[in-house]
Amino acid sequence: MSEIIDLHKILSALAQDDEASLEKLFNYYYPRLFNFSKSILKLEDGIDDILQEVFVKIWKNRKNINSAATFNSYIFIITRNLLLNELRRRLSFQNTKEEVKRLSLANEYSLSEQIDYQELKEKIDAFVEELPDRQKEVFLLSRSEGLSHKEIAEKLGIKPKTVEYHITLAVKCLKEKITGIGILSLLYFYLFF
């Protein structure tokens, strides 16, 4: 059972710089403030630091504390405000931590995707190199240089239908080779070929 204190007498002594009166306030209010703080923070971690700050504020403002009637509200309001500041700090820290984690995962994923893309491109380039010379030439003019069938036909002195034939054969051949690599490569193939 907690002791009953004469709050008016303690606050008067506190205003006269009596450190023992601060200790009496601490011993009386600490258990109540601790439970109050725990109900807000939901964790015990950090409560002692907050309560220590509450009593530091009381000590700093000891000359301005006039009423024993309002002191109970006053000490709980100080505690609540410090708890809210702590909650904001923790939330900000958590959000920052999550943002850093999200960005690092995004960067890691992006790097992984770049590596996959580079490996895939190298494999496809190797497959293109294996095409017969004329097919490879027509295919590269179409895909790498972006020339139309008509432009390729004029450049090589062949008919547009022949260009279409070589591209069709090249795509069919590449599609068969790429199918063995996996789904991502098929997506790459359909997007870029």
Domain count, the chain: 2
DSSP for 18-83 reads: -HHHHHHHHHHHHHHHHHHHHHHHSSSTTHHHHHHHHHHHHHHTGGG---HHHHHHHHHHHHHHHH
Q: How confident is the model at residue 108 (pLDDT cuts 50, 70, 90)?
A: very low
Tens-digit pLDDT profile for residues 58-68: 999 999 988 88
Residue 69 lies in a domain: yes
Burial degree of 41 (CB within 10 A; 0-12, 13-18, 19+):
middle
Residue 101 in domain? no
* Per-residue pLDDT at 107 exceeds 70: no
CA distance 38 to 45: 9
Full residue range of the structural domain in which residue 151 is found: 130-192
pLDDT tier at 118, thresholds 50, 70, 90:
low
Do residue 68 and residue 21 come from a single domain? yes
Residues 78 and 135 both lie in one domain: no
pLDDT tens, residue by residue, 127-154: 888 999 998 898 888 877 777 889 899 9
Instruction: Give the domain-ending residue among 72, 94, 116.
Output: 94
CATH code of residue 84:
1.10.1740.10
pLDDT per residue as tens digits for the range 1-44: 456 788 999 999 999 999 999 999 999 999 999 998 888 777 77
- 24 shares its domain with 78: yes
- Per the listing, tokens 């409560």 go with 47
- Is 13 part of a structural domain of the chain? yes
Cα angle for residues 15, 21, 22 (degrees, 5° grid): 90
> Considering the entire predicted model, what is its pTM?
0.48
25 and 85 share a domain? yes
Q: Is residue 104 part of a domain?
A: no
Closest by CA to 137, choosing from 176, 179, 169, is: 169
Regarding predicted confidence, which is higher, 69 or 117? 69
**How far is Cα 157 from Cα 5, in angstroms, rounded to an integer?**
107
Residue the block writes with tokens 């062949």: 158
Domain identity same for 135 and 86: no
Handedness of CA 96, 102, 106, 108 (dihedral sign): positive
Q: Is residue 96 scored above 60 in pLDDT?
A: yes
